[in-house]
Amino acid sequence: MASILTVIRPAQKITQGTRPVCRLTSSITFFNTIRRLSLSVSRPQDGLAETNERPRWSHTPERMKMPYRVRLVDPEKKWECNSDPKRLDHFYIKLLGVGGDKLLPEEVKWLAVTHKSFEQGARGFNDRLAFFGRRLINLQTDLALVSSEPPEKSSNHMKTPDGRTPFKHPSLVGLPNLVNIPLSDVLTVEKIASLATSMGMRSVVRWHPRLIRDLDASGINAILTTSIYAIFGALALQNGGKVAINLAKARVLKPLGII
């Protein structure tokens, strides 16, 4: 019995003196993997360098494109948009007059005529510019209606039921025009789209129609109207409200017969 204890006790001392060994095999392998990835040769950046030299309006960044197309390309739905800066400058000169192509930077000129359906909005679109331009043109239209003669002269001589005569002032003569003539009837989509078409906007606007064989059903009039508003919104932000108002009166309101 004593001999057995003498054998067990030294073995217990040996096991008590030893410490558990922590195996770092998995962690070492993980760090080695990270080191190999960090030291791997990167992809050549020649293609990205070439695209960085090109203007932003002329291409969609590679990282914004899908690696694989979800839908197959239908040859019958292929649609080509303008990419010629000279044609765009010619349109701005025709719309804004001599020097109209110099009033906006190159990037903004393309942005103002780009709808969100073009390249899925990857090159920017003109919704915000159009919102600002619409407010500007609507305000000038209201001011033009107020300063014009009312359609019915007899309305100025109307009396109240108790026989009193309403207050009259020369500045308030055209006030009934804001009530009797809705703004939507003055600035219609068809009128503005017709003006844009006469200026050649159909050949420079960038969008993708739903039906390439039927542009009217695809909403070409709304696209042209939005682009007209966006151009004058960009003019107001770039050159100030005075320049944009004068151009809006001369190039939009006057051709439409509002002033």
Half-sphere exposure of 143 (CA within 13 A, CB side): 10
**pLDDT value of position 139:** 96
**Rounded Cα distance, 255 and 192, in Å:** 10
Q: Where are the alpha helices (DSSP H) in 20-152?
A: 25-38, 46-53, 85-96, 106-112, 127-146
Query: What pLDDT shows up at residue 238?
Result: 96
Residue 132's Cα: distance from chain center in Å?
A: 12
Q: Is the pTM of this model over 0.75?
A: no
pLDDT tens-place string over residues 45-68: 544 454 557 776 666 676 777 777
Query: How many residues are recorded in the chain?
Result: 259
pLDDT digit string, tens, across residues 159-186: 667 778 877 888 778 888 888 888 889 9
Phi, psi of 17 (to 5 degrees): -80, -20
Of 81, 77, 98, the closest CA to residue 89 belongs to 98
- The per-residue pLDDT for 119 is 80
The CATH T-level fold of domain 86-151+168-253 is: Ribonuclease iii, N-terminal Endonuclease Domain; Chain A (1.10.1520)
What's the 3-state SS for 182-248? CHHHHCCHHHHHHHHHHCCHHHCCECCCCCCCCHHHHCHHHHHHHHHHHHHHHHHHHHCHHHHHHHH
CA distances from 182 to 91, 108, 150, 179, 228 (A): 31, 32, 13, 7, 20
Residue with tokens 């001392």: 13
Q: CA distances (Å), 168 to each of 135, 149, 155, 174, 175, in order? A: 29, 14, 11, 11, 11
CA atoms within 13 A on the CB side of 244: 25
pLDDT per position in the chain (259 positions), as tens? 455 445 555 555 555 555 555 554 555 555 555 455 444 444 545 444 545 577 766 666 767 777 777 777 777 777 888 889 999 999 999 999 999 999 999 999 999 999 998 887 778 899 999 999 999 999 999 999 888 877 665 455 566 677 788 778 887 788 888 888 888 899 999 999 999 999 999 999 999 898 888 999 999 999 999 999 999 999 999 999 999 999 999 999 999 999 8
Secondary structure tally for the chain: helices H, strands E: 12, 0
In the numeric block, which tokens belong to residue 13?
Answer: 């001392």
Structural domain boundaries in the chain = 86-151+168-253
